[in-house]
Amino acid sequence: MQGNRNGMIPFPPPVSRDRVIWEFPKCYTPNASLQLKKDWDIQAKAACKAGAARHQPWDRQRMSKVVVVGDLNVGKTCLINRFCKDVFERDYKATIGVDFEIERFEVSGVPFSLQIWDTAGQEKFKCIASAYYRGAQVIITVFDMADIKSLDHTRQWLEEAMRENEPDSCFIFLVGTKNDLLPLDERRRTEKDAIRIATEMHAEFWAVSAKTGENVQGFFFRVAALAFEKCVLKAMENGLPASIGHGGSIRSDCAILEKASPQDMKRGCC
């Protein structure tokens, strides 16, 4: 895509159809869920409706920061790549430091983005990666369903990520990857252990497979919906106009990305 003279892209293309969210996405299991409700908050819904109806030019986007942490080799990069690029890489290539993707959505008629930070699980890159934990609205702690030790380590990963963030400021998810590797009975046992740990962490649990794609879209839609709704509610709490939409004002804890494309934003990792 061509930028203007400043290298900026004035109007990003419309959000692809498979990134449009109207219905409030369901949780994976009510036994470890951040919210059991089935629909959007009524006030947030009304604000979105009013904003979307205005059809203003899309000159900026609201964005939440998502940080993905967990042991090396658990499948963080594959999970992100399955969702953002619909690919699966069989060979392991360690993440060096950090990398990020920006994924654009339309939620209840309103543009919204997730800035998804993929961090390195290797000890030697930890100090680089941890510099990027700050300012997260969502923390995703990932473990490998076929490696129970990686589940035990998620508490430590969360603790480290929370050190850089305010208590109660983030949605926390516990995600078990590679569920394609387990027979059903073993999968059930691991899920039971994970649900116990998710409850301790005040996290929502999901079991996914980047290889088969199972639950990957459902999971990221849930992340986007919860993060988006929180932005809307926070903006309303702060007394900002209740009408939110293309060019409207959700500020709160969402960053606003002014007319820059993901390519403009993408920096080399450390």
Ligand X SMILES: Nc1nc2c(ncn2[C@@H]2O[C@H](COP(=O)(O)OP(=O)(O)OP(=O)(O)O)[C@@H](O)[C@H]2O)c(=O)[nH]1
Judged by CB under 6 A, does residue 190 bind ligand X?
Answer: no
What does the per-residue mask of binding to ligand X show for 167-186, with x meaning CB under 6 A?
Answer: ----------xx-xx-----
Dmax of the chain from CA atoms? Answer: 59
By CB under 6 A, is residue 72 in contact with ligand X? Answer: yes
In angstroms, give the least distance from the CB of 201 to ligand X.
Answer: 19
Q: How many CB atoms within 10 Å of residue 59?
A: 12
Q: How far is the CB of 79 from ligand X (least distance, A)?
A: 7
Please report whether residue 95 would count as binding ligand X according to CB under 6 A. Answer: yes
Q: Could you tell me the sign of the dihedral formed by the alpha carbons of 125, 178, 100, 218, in that order?
A: negative
Query: What element of type H or E holds 176?
Result: strand 171-177
Distance CA 144, CA 268 (A): 27
Shortest gap between Cβ of 187 and ligand X (angstroms)? 12
Question: What are the CA-CA distances from residue 135 to residues 10, 64, 116, 139 (Å)?
Answer: 26, 9, 12, 10
Instruction: Choose the binding region for ligand X from 108-116, 184-192, 203-211, 255-263 (rule: CB under 6 A).
Output: 203-211
Binding to ligand X, residues 111-130 (CB under 6 A): 120-122
| b/e sequence 88-112, b meaning 16+ C-beta within 10 Å | beeeeeebebbbbbbbbbbbbbbbb
Q: Which is nearer to ligand X, 57 or 268 (CB)?
A: 268
**Token pair of 140, please?**
């995703």
Smallest distance from the beta carbon of 112 to ligand X, in angstroms? 25
Tokens read off for 205:
């649990």
**Is 94 a binder of ligand X (CB under 6 A)?**
yes
Dist. CA 100–CA 119, nearest whole Å: 8
Site membership for ligand X, residue 38 (CB under 6 A): no
Q: Is 78 in the site for ligand X (CB under 6 A)?
A: yes
Residue 141 sits in the site that holds ligand X (CB under 6 A): no
- Residues binding ligand X: what is the number (CB under 6 A)? 24
Q: What is the C-alpha to C-alpha distance for residues 83 and 216, in angstroms, rounded to an integer?
A: 6
Q: How far is the CB of 239 from ligand X (least distance, A)?
A: 41
Q: In the window 231-260, what residues touch ligand X (CB under 6 A)?
A: none
Tell me whether residue 18 or residue 123 sits nearer to ligand X (CB atom).
123
Say how far apart CA 168 and CA 135 lie, in whole Å. Answer: 12
Q: Which is nearer to ligand X, 40 or 206 (CB)?
A: 206
Binding-site ranges for ligand X (CB under 6 A): 70, 72-78, 89-92, 94-95, 120-122, 177-178, 180-181, 209-211
